[in-house]
Chain A
Amino acid sequence: MPSLADLTELIVFVLLAAGVVVGSLGVVLLPNIVYSAFLLGGVFLSVAGLYLLLNASFIAAAQVLIYVGAVNVLILFAIMLVNKREPLADAPGLGLRRLLSSGVCAGLLWLLLRVAYTTPWATPGPTPLGEDAVVRLGEHFFTDYLLPFELASVLLLMAMIGAIVLARRDVFASDIGTGEEADQGLIEKARTPLLIEKSRP
């Protein structure tokens, strides 16, 4: 009979895994995208719980801060900004595509599970570090992973500038599409979309 701590760990794992799987199914399948976004937050929190079970408290905290705090809020903002209810026109071959992709995903799942269950993993490995993991992470970042660490900061800066450039509307003195004087104000104003005529058949 396993000890009480092990049993608790197993029960918590089962609950978190069920939360992850059911939540992600909800994200993909629910018709209302706002429910999907909130369920996505639930999935991120459950994944953070799994990280806690895997002796990684720092990554769990980073997961909550970055995914739940930043990415999920960003997705909610995007839903708010593109909030238009439109009836989706039927596309040809959608049912066939759904069937084929379900087959591909089931095959991929079978492959991944087969790899996971037939490989003789070298468990148990070394004893996990526990709370000293943060110290070891810091050592890694400032010795053997210094270059990727610095590159990550450059990547984040580039992503920030790129997002601003892409999402801001008028950065040119004159509009490159129409040639008229561009409005440099920060508030969104109504304007005819450039490609809307071409998209209508």
Chain B
Amino acid sequence: MNDPYRVLGVSPSASDEEVKRAYRELARKYHPDNYQDNPLADLAEEKMKEINEAYDAITRQRAGGGQTAYQSQPSGPSAGGYNANAGYAGSRDPFFQKVYQAIQVGNLAAAERLLTEEAPTRNAEWYFLMGVVCYHRGWLDEARQNYQMAVQMEPGNLQYRQALQMMDQGGYNTYRPAGFTSAEGCDPCSTYLCISCLTPWGGPCC
């Protein structure tokens, strides 16, 4: 394993508190919630694992090398594993199951070919999966249009509605580094206002 201190970006002489703070910031950054449906979710998950192991190793080391001396297990990725398009566990229809598998292994061309050439019917699920293919390509507008179609055809389906809602919000909440955290909604025109009048410290709000 890599040097746990390097993984957390702190020096070996850092205090317990500093190590914990660095770990928390990284855990906030790589948290699976920030990478829901993101084509890079697997890389974030790997990073999360790496920092969990590093933090574990350091706390064990500092507690005197005992395996169980440090009980508090840091909050890692949620148990049960994390999948792209959480909520959609695959289809009961074997054809759509095949399409979904192709998407999961990253073979978008194959998934699209199956959908456009071999699909027996264009039902709500067809549009939903087409939306997923578009989303993974980065075609966000077309992904939204497909999700919308799926919702129209099957308004009762929660997954389709969630997918559409996610698009209408411009994606899930993502990590913002320290110093940029409250910049949301702080457009450059009102920034000037925030700078001097609205913050008690008279400094920038974000």
A and B bind: no
User: CB within 8 Å of A: which residues of B?
Assistant: none
Contacts from A to B (Cβ < 8 Å):
none
